[in-house]
Amino acid sequence: MQNIKAIFNKSYSKYIWIVIILIVWEAVAKLTPVSPLVFPSLELIGAALLNSILTGDILFQMLFSLGLIFVGLIIGVVLSFVMSSLSVISPVFESFVDTCISIFDPLPGIALLPLIILWIGTGTKAILFIIVHSVLWPMILNMTAGFKSIPTIYKKIGQNYEFSSAKIIFKIYIPASLPYLIAGLKIGWARAWRATISAEMIFGASGGIGGIGWYIFNRRVFMDTPGIFAGLVMIVFAGILVEDFFFVKIEEKTVKKWGLS
């Protein structure tokens, strides 16, 4: 029993669960009378994925979506940092940011589509707008929560050293609230994916080739269920890759190393 607990407490336990889920999936697909059109086997999904990789369709569209998400995240991070920093410095701006969060955070980006189409159109800029909207508010919430969780004595120490407001933010607030910032970035990454897929399914092949959302939408139109799951597999793979080789590494080099976790 202790060995089993030790195995599932390891960082690779998620891969064990993925293997278990895949075994159950294949058993249901092979041993039950469910239609492959509704519940395709791993063999059919793998064939569809391999075919899309060989033709290059899914790779180019995946890279296109990742590019949009990357740009949207950078814009969201910069805006959230500026707004969170100003809210720490100025009580008036803090009230303004809190009001913006109360108004815009509950609004899904898709609900703003009629206005976005009217103001921006249906191209790449519209998708970026939805991504930034989806990323910005949870990141501000996490950043401001991190800044507010810092003991006042830290700020007084910075003032004793005659740090400017900008230096206090960069030297004290950001390092001390890094767990909150990374958590906000994780939430922003996940919400950016949802926003991108939804927008691409509605706006179509923006940028000439479209993204992974457009790939999945096309497969749905032609009732290519294995192709739909192939697109979903690529999204899951990208999520796991970023989680295990980006966020985990950042946490190991900063949060865990500095004893903040």
Q: Where are the domains of the chain?
A: 1-34, 41-253
Residue 24, pLDDT score: 92
CA 231 to the chain's CA centroid: 17
- The yes-or-no verdict on residue 107 having pLDDT over 60 is yes
Fold classified for 41-253: MetI-like fold (1.10.3720)
pLDDT at 96 over 60: yes
pLDDT at residue 221, as a whole number: 81
* Least confident window among 107-111, 136-140, 253-257: 253-257
Determine the pLDDT at residue 74. Answer: 92
Residue 85 has pLDDT above 90, yes or no: no
Of 54, 138, 148, 64, nearest in space to 101 by CA: 138
Radius of gyration of the chain (CA): 22
Would the pLDDT of 205 be above 90? no
Torsion of CA 126, 129, 134, 139, to 10 degrees: 160
Which of residues 37 and 229 earns the better pLDDT score?
Answer: 229
pLDDT band for position 233 (cuts 50, 70, 90) = very high
Tell me what the pLDDT averaged over the chain comes to: 83
The pLDDT of residue 259: 57
Read off the pLDDT of each residue in 101-125 and give the average, rounded to a whole number: 82
Lowest-confidence pick of 5-14, 26-35, 100-109, 147-156: 5-14
What's the rounded mean pLDDT across residues 232-248?
85
